Amino acid sequence: MISMISLLSSIMTLIESSPLCLETKVVETREFSQKQFFFKIRVSLKEETYLQIRIYHNKGHFDYSYQFFSNIPVMRWDNKEDFPELLNFPHHYHAENGIIEPSELIGEPIRDVQTVLMKLEAFMNLKNSS
């Protein structure tokens, strides 16, 4: 069983080791029980952009949202169950162009944060090279 403190600490370590990260802040935590908790992290990234991470854990299941934004939302990964027709349901991605696509995230926060950081780094590198 994973605890809120250990998961939060692991995610913070991952984020803070990213070359994109300028500053991290735990915005909110709630521990309802050992098996149920919620936290939100806001990360300041390069180029006046931000990543907001929301994780809700309940009895072994994770609901998540990873939102990348500047002054407006740019892209988001989440597993809200609102697109059952997509492959890898409920995991999906809201692209910069507004299209909703299947996501390669799987609801394992450590792996998913690594994937999101890699995607953001590629996105920012591509944006800077154009």
Q: For 92-114, what is each residue's pLDDT tens digit?
A: 999 999 999 999 999 999 999 99
Q: Span 35-58, mean pLDDT?
A: 96
Residue listed under structure tokens 């809201």: 94
For 30-34, 63-67, 121-125, which range has the lowest pLDDT when averaged over its residues?
121-125
pTM above 0.75, yes or no: yes
Q: What is Dmax (Cα atoms) for the chain?
A: 48
Amino acid 130: pLDDT: 64
Residue type for position 76: R
Amino acid 120: pLDDT: 96
Percent of the chain at pLDDT above 70?
A: 99
> Residue 77: which H helix or E strand, with range?
strand 73-78
